[in-house]
Amino acid sequence: MASVKPVLKWAGGKSQILHEIVPRLPSDFNHYHEPFFGGGAVFFDLQPPNGTINDLNSRLMNFYRQVRDNHEELIETNKKHQREIDELDDEATEEYYYDKRDEFNSLRQHGLCENEVLEASLLLFLNRTCFNGLYRENQSGKYNVPFGRRTSPDVVREERIRAAHDALQNTDIRNQDFTYVKHVVGEKDAVYFDPPYKPVSETANFDDYLAGGFGADKQRKLRDLAVDLHEKGVYVTISNSPPARQLYEEDDVPDAFEVESITANRSINRNGDDRTGAKEIIVTNVPQHMRQGTLSSFGQEDDA
């Protein structure tokens, strides 16, 4: 099975540490669920035949619905942006970027989008041309990342969209709170949680990628949910930062949960000096003898 690469670059993307995450997932499971989807590197590597993906970011999940359901129209719309910027100099490209950012922000009013394919296409365009591939909203829910001055960006991503389209068939795409998963899982399902990380310092806090954040109360709520799922016979794997370790080592957490430290290279960070060698943890209740093991597709490049 050929590996599928993520279409979008996303803060906290897992492409470079698939070799750490996937071997800790179960080798055999019924359905796969990913409640904090983001760029979806783990899902696209696994290509599960069914299950759910979810994210609280409605624009992001609309993007994946369009990839699943309207990929040809999406590709053609992307090509229009490509033709436009291919004819522009750097200054004009920057002006085009801010025009499209304004258009993107105008499409969704009161939670409803007037043109879902266009919104998905603009999200990809902005992702490919903004500063460092960031997604960030202000408190009003407006996307506000500045232009990134990328040279000759590919804003079509046709091959990746086609591959992602195939991988997303038979996948239920949701836009809910992460706790939805407790209502859809069954015994021997697999759940991978990749929440906004508990910050290691105030300057490292990235939970403002979506207006609202993901604070300490939600980190504990996630931990409690993981324990509940374990008691239902669900395989649970979680990525997080080292400060979250203590949550999974408290007395009321079953011994089945193992917490292991890994090192990840991070390409998105406010401080350029901190873009490599970041410490993370992986928590899992999957017994050693039931894990995936080593697969040749691990360790994709994050983006190009």
Count of Cβ atoms closer than 10 Å to residue 264 Cβ: 18
pLDDT at position 210 is: 46
Tell me what percent of the residues of the chain surpass a pLDDT of 90: 78
How many whole angstroms separate alpha carbon 196 and alpha carbon 74?
28
51 and 70, same domain (yes or no) = no
Encode pLDDT of 181-195 as tens digits: 999 999 999 999 999
Q: What is the DSSP string of 274-286?
A: GSS-EEEEEEE--
Query: Would you say residue 47 has pLDDT above 70?
Result: yes
Report the relative pairing of strands 235-240 and 258-264 from DSSP bridges: unpaired
Q: Output the average pLDDT for the chain.
A: 89
User: Is residue 207 one of the residues assigned to a domain?
Assistant: yes
How many whole angstroms separate alpha carbon 119 and alpha carbon 225?
33
Encode pLDDT of 235-262 as tens digits: 999 999 999 999 999 999 999 999 999 9
Query: Would you say residue 209 has pLDDT above 50?
Result: no
Q: What is the domain extent for residue 267?
A: 15-56+176-290
Element (H, E) at 237: strand 235-240
Mean pLDDT of 131-153: 91
How many whole angstroms separate alpha carbon 54 and alpha carbon 31?
14
How many whole angstroms separate alpha carbon 132 and alpha carbon 64?
21
72 and 40, same domain (yes or no) = no
User: Is residue 31 one of the residues assigned to a domain?
Assistant: yes
75 and 27, same domain (yes or no) = no
Q: How confident is the model at residue 233 (pLDDT cuts 50, 70, 90)?
A: very high
Q: Decide: 107 and 114 in contact? Cβ < 8 Å.
A: yes
In degrees rounded to 5, what are phi and psi of residue 119?
Answer: -60, -45
140 and 193, same domain (yes or no) = no
199 and 283, same domain (yes or no) = yes
Report the relative pairing of strands 51-54 and 235-240 from DSSP bridges: unpaired
The residue length of the chain stands at 304
Encode pLDDT of 22-33 as tens digits: 999 999 999 999
Query: Would you say residue 223 has pLDDT above 60?
Result: yes
Contacts made by residues 98-105, CB under 8 angstroms, sequence distance 24+: 98/147, 100/125, 100/126, 101/126, 101/143, 101/145, 104/143, 105/142, 105/143
pLDDT at position 197 is: 85
Encode pLDDT of 262-284 as tens digits: 987 655 444 444 445 568 999 99
30 and 72, same domain (yes or no) = no
How many whole angstroms separate alpha carbon 142 and alpha carbon 229?
35
How many whole angstroms separate alpha carbon 167 and alpha carbon 48?
8
**Number of structural domains, the chain?**
2
The pTM (predicted TM-score) of the whole model is 0.90
Q: Decide: 90 and 105 in contact? Cβ < 8 Å.
A: no
Tell me the three state secondary structure of residue 291.
Answer: strand
Q: How confident is the model at residue 151 (pLDDT cuts 50, 70, 90)?
A: confident
Angle between helices 90-106 and 71-86 (to 10 degrees): 150
244 and 97, same domain (yes or no) = no
Question: The domain that contains 264 carries what CATH number?
Answer: 3.40.50.150
286 and 181, same domain (yes or no) = yes
User: Is residue 9 one of the residues assigned to a domain?
Assistant: no
Query: Would you say residue 300 has pLDDT above 70?
Result: no
pLDDT at position 108 is: 93
